[in-house]
Structure 1
Amino acid sequence: MKYPFSHIGIPTTDEKNWDGFYEPGKIHYTDFTKDEYGVEWIKFDSDTPMPEMMQKLPHVAYLVDNIEEAVEGKEILVETFSPGEGVRVAFIIHNGSPVEFMEVKE
């Protein structure tokens, strides 16, 4: 199934004007909706529990209606979690790269 594109996440070690911090994952991030090209910059603290692949490789993100259906039968990189109210995300490995599925409830 094809899903609508949401954004691209690019890991960095540079300091940015961070829009948020996801404490459980030790992830600083910018708001991709503010970027004209849909780029989300992400920086991981040294004690992040996130897999190395997430820390080193960019990821593309797609909007899904049902995250459980989207990840069914896929190789899971990061189990489903909620980085904010009304949002659930999960990461899979697709052809050796991370892909994010994002379910947003209004």
Structure 2
Amino acid sequence: MDYKFSHVGIPTTDDKNWDGFYEPLRIHYTEFDKDEYNIEWVMFEKDSTMHPLVQNLPHTAYYVDDMEAALEGKNIIVETFSPGEGVRVAFIEHNGAPIEFMEIKQ
């Protein structure tokens, strides 16, 4: 499996200049591709159903070509979902830390 670095996501309770809000999981976010260091800031509403590891620890995200292959045999903590057209995301737990996989199909 080839993993290509995408970004680091950092949870915060500080108000930022949010780029968007993902309603299904109740997450405010900044766009990591606008940041010179590829940092995504995320803030979770109190009623967010996102896994506690993702809400409380920074995560590293990687682009993958095949989501199913990337997830095979892994400890999945957030099942695959689509936050936008052509994008699929899932989270695994690796040695106590959340890791995000992103599959982009254009």
TM-score (norm 1): 0.97
Count of residue pairs brought into register by the alignment: 106
Residue identity over aligned pairs, in percent, reads: 68
The 3-state SS of whatever aligns with 2:36 is coil
Could you tell me which amino acid in structure 1 is paired with residue 66 of structure 2? N
What residue is the counterpart of 1:71 in the other structure? 71
Q: What's the offset of the Cα at 1:2?
A: 3.9
Whether the 8 Å contact between 2:28 and 2:42 is mirrored in structure 1 is yes
Which contiguous aligned blocks of 4+ residues in structure 1 show a shift greater than 6 angstroms?
none
In structure 1, list runs of 5 or more residues that go unmatched: none
TM-score (norm 2): 0.97
User: Any residues of structure 2 matched to 1:13-28 within 5 Å, and which?
Assistant: 13-28=13-28
In structure 2, list runs of 5 or more residues that go unmatched: none
The 3-state SS of whatever aligns with 2:33 is helix
Distance (whole Å) between structure 1 residues aligned to residue 52 and residue 75 of structure 2: 16
